Amino acid sequence: MASEGSGGTPDAVSVVIPARNASRTIGEQLAALSRQDYRGEWEVIVADNASTDGTAEAAARWRGAVPSLSVVPAGARPGGNHARNVGAAHARGALLLFCDADDVVAAGWLSSMAAALRQADIVGGFLDLELLNEPGVGCWEPNDQREKGLPIGLGFLPYAVGGSLGVRAAVHRELGGFREDYVRGADEVEFCWRAQLAGFTIAFAPGAEVHCRLRRDRWSAFKQGYGYGHGRFRLYRDFAHHGVPARDLPTAAREWTRLGLTLHHLLSPRRGVRWMSAAGMLTGRTAGSLGHRVSRLSDAPPPA
């Protein structure tokens, strides 16, 4: 397979999976990719971000079942964005599709994403939160993509979630790839915002569905929420001059109060995970406001 810039077909696709310690789940994702119906040229690249649990070996066992599967080391620095960029550097397709090692793409995901990229520079798919998660184990963000399309970050611009993001390879190169210093959260948001501010287009691919696996234990949910909160403060710092709206400190105080009033949710195995996610988000925002010297708070989550 050759890239668009070296004479390959404009529909050639490279699927990039950044992976770190995902040996228990990556097989499900690769099995789902092996069942895709895309008729053009395509390949799969697993970018191993210094895993210590045999992720690379688990992925390599799918060679032959998954078209043109390669596993490349991507552990020079931690973070999903570094792994994405390394995978993209090894890619030969004109279209880059990114998905996560702990999710499962639905049938037709690849075809739908590729079709959407014929109309836009960047696309994002729909994230289903039901199939891989127990009933009631949700997250602090409403899953209303079916009706509203791509999520809007901080009330500013839409973005594609990293677990289902497509971009033309030429656009990825022109933008210099994903920013690798975004390691705690909001990494794909920064990329999508930067692209739109540079004049590139973004669109929603509703037929490109990915079954997303949420955090199942409280500490993991808290850490993930913390990263999201911290990352969003960095977004505000980096893009405030473009007009990103913000909420003031009294608003943040009210959010903490509302979270405190739902403290009893910790007694519930299911609601407790969601509460810890929201608590992590608010804690991350507070830490981000101090670390990034931002005195106003943005995009607080609803109560758990």
Q: What is the mean pLDDT of residues 280-287?
A: 66
Higher pLDDT, 270 or 178: 178
> pLDDT tens for residues 154-212?
889 999 999 999 999 999 999 999 999 988 778 899 999 999 999 999 999 989 999 98
Q: What is the mean pLDDT of residues 219-227?
A: 61
Q: What is the pLDDT of residue 260?
A: 79
Calpha distance 34→57 (Å, rounded): 17
Question: Which of 119-128, 212-221, 281-290 is modeled with the greatest confidence?
Answer: 119-128
Calpha distance 302→148 (Å, rounded): 18
Across 27-41, 66-80, 261-275, least confident range: 261-275
Q: What is the pLDDT of residue 168?
A: 98
Q: What is the pLDDT of residue 50?
A: 95
Q: What is the pLDDT of residue 303?
A: 34
Question: Cβ neighbours of residue 296 under 8 Å, at least 6 residues apart?
Answer: 236, 246, 247, 248, 249, 289
Q: What is the pLDDT of residue 102?
A: 93
Across 2-11, 49-58, 188-197, least confident range: 2-11
Q: What is the pLDDT of residue 1?
A: 44
Query: What is the value of pTM for the model shown?
Result: 0.81
Across 3-12, 41-50, 113-122, least confident range: 3-12
Q: What is the pLDDT of residue 6?
A: 37
Q: What is the pLDDT of residue 99?
A: 98
Q: What is the pLDDT of residue 213?
A: 85
C-alpha closest to that of 166 among 110, 103, 104: 110
Q: What is the pLDDT of residue 137?
A: 55
Calpha distance 228→250 (Å, rounded): 21
Name the CATH topology of 4-211: Spore Coat Polysaccharide Biosynthesis Protein SpsA; Chain A (3.90.550)
Does residue 295 register a pLDDT over 80?
Answer: no
Q: What is the pLDDT of residue 214?
A: 76
> pLDDT tens for residues 229-254?
656 778 888 898 998 886 666 666 77
Give me the percent of the chain exceeding a pLDDT of 70: 72
Higher pLDDT, 286 or 62: 62
The rounded mean pLDDT for the chain is 83
Does residue 77 register a pLDDT over 90?
Answer: yes
pLDDT tier at 24 (50, 70, 90 boundaries)?
very high
> pLDDT tens for residues 97-152?
999 999 999 999 999 999 999 999 999 999 888 887 776 555 444 455 565 789 99
